[in-house]
Chains A and B, each alone.
Chain A
Amino acid sequence: MAATSHGEASRGRVTLIPLLTALPLAAGIGAVAATSNEGPFLLSMLVFGLAILPAAYGIGTLVLIGPIEPDHHAETVEHHWMMQATSGALLDLVTGAGVLLAVISVFAIDLDGRTTLVFVLGAAMLDVAIRYVVLRRRG
């Protein structure tokens, strides 16, 4: 019973501390973003704040709690899967970027830089996630 209570308390600490950091951080970034937005300040702050909250929570966890991992993380199968997934995704990204560059060059298409970067980043993250899930399901 004591071990369970200790475990619950530890999990609570792991959840609460990053959240206490994430809320003011997200509110601050939301406020800064809202000042450069034409919409109502509070609404803009809320929207930008909510958008940044997951990332702020992640930063809070990394900084205050640190990654929870075994002593020899580099020798775990999860690390092996992540290395395989990221290296595969990098190859996909280089190939995809090359094909995309050829297409926009041939057809003289103008692409917005921000849109392109968001697309590339999103595609890379999705690629890594899919590859990781597939490797994990295979065991």
Chain B
Amino acid sequence: MNNDIPRRRAERQWSQSDLAGRVGVTRQSIISIEKGRFDPSLGLAFRLADVFQCRIEDIFNARVKAADSLP
């Protein structure tokens, strides 16, 4: 799942550790989410939307990678 967390994070000049602390997960989790290798839980997605003061769908888009859409 694609996301624009790196851009939003850069706008606020937050490091990955800063964001991880704000949403209560590890820095590695933020790295994996930004790379699109780990889909966050609904609760974490809501917290990310909360810290960026936007909606979940503003951060994540439903466009999945080609490999993910294969049966």
Contact = CB atoms under 8 A, between A and B. Distances in A.
Given A75-B40, A75-B41, A75-B43, A70 B26 contact: yes
Contacts of B47: 72
A76 interface: yes
Interface size of B as a range: 10 to 19
Contacts of A70: 20-21, 24-26
Interface centre among A72, A77, A78, A138 (most CB of B within 10 A): A77
Interface in A11-52: none
Interface in B15-71: 20-21, 23-26, 28-29, 31-33, 35, 37-38, 40-41, 43-44, 47
Interface residues of A, number: 10
Contacts of A71: 24
Contact of B44 (A72, A78, A138): A72
Interface string A62-74: 0000000011100
B23 to A, nearest CB: 7
Nearest to A69: B26
A76 B40 CA distance: 8
Nearest to A138: B37
A28 B36 CA distance: 50
B17 to A, nearest CB: 11
Contacts of B21: 70
B25 A76 contact: yes
A76 B33 CA distance: 10
15 contacts: A70-B21, A70-B24, A71-B24, A72-B23, A72-B43, A72-B44, A75-B29, A75-B40, A76-B26, A77-B26, A78-B29, A80-B38, A138-B37, A139-B31, A139-B37
**Top 5 A-B residue pairs of the complex, sorted by shortest distance between their CB atoms:** A71-B24, A72-B24, A77-B29, A77-B32, A76-B29
